[in-house]
Structure 1
Amino acid sequence: MASVDVVVPSYQYGRYLRGCVTSVLTQDIADLRVLIIDNASTDDSVEVARRLAAEDRRVEVLARPRNLGPHASFNDGIDWARADYFLILCADDLLAPGALARAAAVMERHPGVHLSYGGVVIDSATDPRPSRPAPATAAGWRILSGSALLERFCRTGRNHVPGPTAVVRTSIQKQVGHYRRTLPQTDDLEVWMRFALRGDAAETDVIQGIARVHPLSQSASSRTVHDWNVEFLAAFETFFADDGAALPQAGRLRRLARRALAERAYWCAASHLARGDAALARDLLRFSVRLAPSTAVLPPLTALLRRPDTLERLGRLSADLAAPLRRRFDGSA
């Protein structure tokens, strides 16, 4: 049977750690290892980690004397891994029942698939024991070529691969290499694009993981949509300046990604301006015009037409624009 290694980076997540690691240890994988890497936490994270290791010989602990940042943990995990398949699961996230077996099975059936991922439940609660999805007996997988995966990333200008569900082929991860410290929020997107250069991906709608969103999560440090646009642009620019530079379609794909980011920024600017946030709207509009100068004179209407929720978004925008007029009218009545 296939073997799986899971790295669990942790910092100040003692309250989440047992639930996370238990969700891994209860997977239907006979040959399984877990490495908890603690980044000098000052809560009870190390104590919880060591208790877990004492209870189950499959668990190992690396407790750092000082905080080296999350990328050091990701990259040390890559160096440590030796199983057939590999996953980085942050300590505040969980795996769905059967997730690893489903991922390993599809990659065993398709040797050209080096990355698999699935649906994710977003849990905004602070309860360390969130409700778990019902076990799935089977998953319907779609196989995407590497070129199709890259095309989707660039056409949408975003990352559609949920990190807690991303199981990769370890030998290919070694070829792909480490996460880049220069990309604090979108390092995973840049790694997935490097995977797309080397083979196919498999995706399923079946829930494979639970992602926690809370004030202390890593993604919470980028506070606005403009911050996220800047981070996404950095990931695309880094990829096309390095690993993706030799792609025959590199120029077209880079332009596609920049256009997608510009269009999203434009309509976000309109939305925030309607809600009275002129400063953020200005930043977004400047970003949009920098990437796609034509947006200075022509609204990117095609971006709206491609979206399935266009009418809903236009309705919200109209309501936001009308709100000041309604307030003024009500005040003068």
Structure 2
Amino acid sequence: MASVDVVIPCYKYGSVLPTAVRSVLDQPDVDVRVLVIDDASGDDSADVARKLAAADSRVQVVEHARNKGHIATYNEGLLEWASADYCALLSADDALTPGALSRATRLMDAHPEVGFVYGRPLHWDGSEPLPQARTADKGWTVYNGHSWLRRRFALGEGCITSPEVVVRTEVQQKYGGYDPELRHTGDIEMWMRFALHTDVGYLRGVDQAYYRVHGNNMSAAYYASQVADLRQRLAAYVSIVDRMDGQLKDKADLDRQVRRVLAKDALRRAGRAYDKGITEESPVEELVDFAVETFPEAASLPEWHTLKLRERLGTKAARTLSPLVLTAPARRIRQHARVFRWEQTGV
């Protein structure tokens, strides 16, 4: 029977922690251990964790005397504590679907070349009972790691939310954990780093985890975060390019490709600010600056020209005409992206 160590970092999520822990302990056909790391929550979260540990010997608790932050907490569990065949990181406000660990470990048992496995996350609003998940085994796909990695560069974004991933512990500890320099895209970078060295497994047609969706506050701060998001995504890809020590000979082409993709994304976001009439609260100028810094040929992109047309028309006219004319290039881009995305295989 495969063994899996699951790390559950917790910061002020004591109220939902029992759901996460129980979803691990109830996993069939695997030998599990759980480590709850309370990162100095300062509320009753540590008390909840201790009660869970007292009720089941498979649960252990570590309490931080001071807050260390999410990256350090993740790495403490994955790199210092985990010792089972496989390991996983589960946020305290998420949960595993029934049978998720046995499905993932069966794939990796059958394919020693696979470093990590993922499936679909089921987005969930946190209400009880948990929604019905797809758990019937539909088989799997094993991707060549470098092919999977190239797809990430082609799209400029990850395809994993995190709780649906199970990693071979040997791979996790050999190639490292979350990069503390990448506070918001450390997961994307880490999966790509693993793919440099191992193949990637995907479980078809099943939900592997419940991913809790929190409401976004559509404020000026939210819109401003778009530039930070793009910069963090770029930093993740630059980090991987720097790590390509001969594994991928076309790394210069990959670097140019992802920079072009991210520049297009920035320009589309700037254009949508005109379409929605929110140019005052959206960082249009900063988005354009990012596009030019990232991809010096940004002025040759179709998104640049449609943005300039929006600017000439002004916010009011652009918002009125956008359903008819201005968003057509973006729609075509999305249609082409869907053709190339491996939707049926989850990538």
Q: TM-score, normalising length from structure 1?
A: 0.85
Corresponding residue of 1:304: none
Structure 2 residue 44 is the aligned partner of structure 1 residue 44: yes
Cα distance, 1:88 vs structure 2 = 0.5
Deviation digits for residues 298-321 of structure 1, max 9, x if unmatched? Answer: 4159xxxxxxxxxxxxxxxx9834
Answer whether contact 1:222 1:228 (CA < 8 A) is retained.
no
Corresponding residue of 2:86: 85
Q: Distance in 2 between matches of 1:65 and 1:215?
A: 30
Structure 1 residue ranges without an equivalent (≥5): 302-317, 325-333
Answer whether contact 1:71 1:179 (CA < 8 A) is retained.
yes
Structure 2 counterpart of 1:201, one-letter code: V
Cα distance, 1:137 vs structure 2 = 2.6
Deviation digits for residues 88-129 of structure 1, max 9, x if unmatched? Answer: 001011101110000000111111111100101122x354x3
Corresponding residue of 2:270: 269
Structure 2 residue ranges without an equivalent (≥5): 305-316, 324-347
Structure 2 residue 102 is the aligned partner of structure 1 residue 104: no
Cα distance, 1:216 vs structure 2 = 9.7
Structure 2 counterpart of 1:148, one-letter code: S
Structure 2 residue 185 is the aligned partner of structure 1 residue 186: yes
* Identical amino acids, percent of aligned pairs: 40
Structure 1 window deviating more from structure 2 (132-141 vs 102-111): it is: 132-141
Alignment RMSD: 2.4
Corresponding residue of 1:197: 196
Structure 1 window deviating more from structure 2 (109-118 vs 279-288): it is: 279-288
Q: Distance in 1 between matches of 2:163 and 2:233?
A: 19
Structure 2 residue 157 is the aligned partner of structure 1 residue 158: yes
Q: Distance in 2 between matches of 1:69 and 1:266?
A: 33
Structure 2 residue 301 is the aligned partner of structure 1 residue 286: no
Cα distance, 1:174 vs structure 2 = 0.9
Cα separation, partners in 2 of 1:28 and 1:289, compared to 1, 3 Å: same
Deviation digits for residues 54-96 of structure 1, max 9, x if unmatched? Answer: 1110000001111001111111112211111110001011101
- Aligned pairs for 1:90-239 within 5 A: 90-123=91-124, 125-127=125-127, 129=128, 131-134=130-133, 136-204=135-203, 205-214=205-214, 224-239=225-240
- Aligned pairs for 1:298-313 within 5 A: 298-300=301-303
Q: Distance in 2 between matches of 1:113 and 1:244?
A: 19
Q: Distance in 1 between matches of 2:89 and 2:216?
A: 19
Cα distance, 1:130 vs structure 2 = 5.1
Q: TM-score, normalising length from structure 2?
A: 0.81
Cα distance, 1:276 vs structure 2 = 2.5
Deviation digits for residues 137-180 of structure 1, max 9, x if unmatched? Answer: 31321111111111111111001022001101000111111211
Q: Distance in 2 between matches of 1:282 and 1:216?
A: 23
SS, match of residue 297 in structure 2: helix
Answer whether contact 2:264 2:301 (CA < 8 A) is retained.
no
Cα distance, 1:203 vs structure 2 = 1.3
Structure 1 counterpart of 2:162, one-letter code: G
Answer whether contact 1:9 1:37 (CA < 8 A) is retained.
yes
Answer whether contact 1:102 1:139 (CA < 8 A) is retained.
no
Q: Which runs of 4+ in 1 moved over 6 A?
A: none
Structure 1 window deviating more from structure 2 (231-240 vs 279-288): it is: 279-288
Corresponding residue of 1:19: 19
Corresponding residue of 1:74: 74
Cα distance, 1:230 vs structure 2 = 1.3
Would you say how many aligned residue pairs link Structure 1 and Structure 2? Answer: 303
Cα separation, partners in 2 of 1:130 and 1:261, compared to 1, 3 Å: farther
Q: Distance in 1 between matches of 2:236 and 2:16?
A: 29
Q: Distance in 2 between matches of 1:298 and 1:96?
A: 43
